[in-house]
Amino acid sequence: MGVLADFQIAALCRSGMITPFDEDLINPASLDVRLGETILIEAEACGLKDLNLHGFTKEKPFYLNPDEFALAHTLETFNVPDHLAAQFALKSSVARAGLEHLLAGFIDPGFNNSVLTLELKNARRMERFPLWPGMRIGQIIFYTMDQIPLSSYRETGRYNGDASVASCKGLL
């Protein structure tokens, strides 16, 4: 497997792999992704509570409390072709500020018509972490597959077609 370069990522994005696509999000070997508007916050009595971030901004953000867990989603929708796999990683500046991603960011070939759900936790003990729609939360690294898989996530995936953040659809 090889990592795709900026011009390869841009060409695939222009052909519909990522929507909406913004050229300014391209890095030498990755694509930045932004935070969407809906998050699910852990709530004591009811599991996860739906929260819309519409109206929050960089200047007036929503704050994730210390040690608080949330599911969020990317603004971008993915249509990953069968010859690629990808991996989500937090932006280093976001991680250095105290946000963690719980390492469930692998994107299978054929992940399509879906936003990526992010598992976030404020690792800070004393400070709240600011979140707002559109913030550059992470980056996607794309890999070429050595071979096309026999079974694409397009046929087998439980999280395809998710237009917003998706909670667990059942443990194995």
CATH code of the domain in which 120 resides:
2.70.40.10
Q: Evaluate whether residue 28 is within a structural domain.
A: yes
What percent of the chain stands above pLDDT 90?
Answer: 80
- Structural domain of residue 12, as residue ranges? 6-137
The active-site residue out of 42, 68, 100, 119 is 119
Q: Evaluate whether residue 35 is within a structural domain.
A: yes
State how far the Cα of 159 lies from the Cα of 163, in Å rounded to an integer: 10
State how far the Cα of 84 lies from the Cα of 18, in Å rounded to an integer: 13
| pLDDT tens per residue, range 11-33 | 999 999 999 999 999 999 999 99
Q: Evaluate whether residue 153 is within a structural domain.
A: no
pLDDT at 46: 64
| pLDDT tens per residue, range 137-169 | 999 999 999 999 998 888 888 788 788 887 777
119 classed as catalytic? yes
Q: Evaluate whether residue 167 is within a structural domain.
A: no
Q: Evaluate whether residue 150 is within a structural domain.
A: no
- Average pLDDT over all residues of the chain: 93
pTM: 0.92
State how far the Cα of 45 lies from the Cα of 150, in Å rounded to an integer: 43
**The total number of structural domains that make up the chain:** 1
**pLDDT surpasses 70 at 45:** no
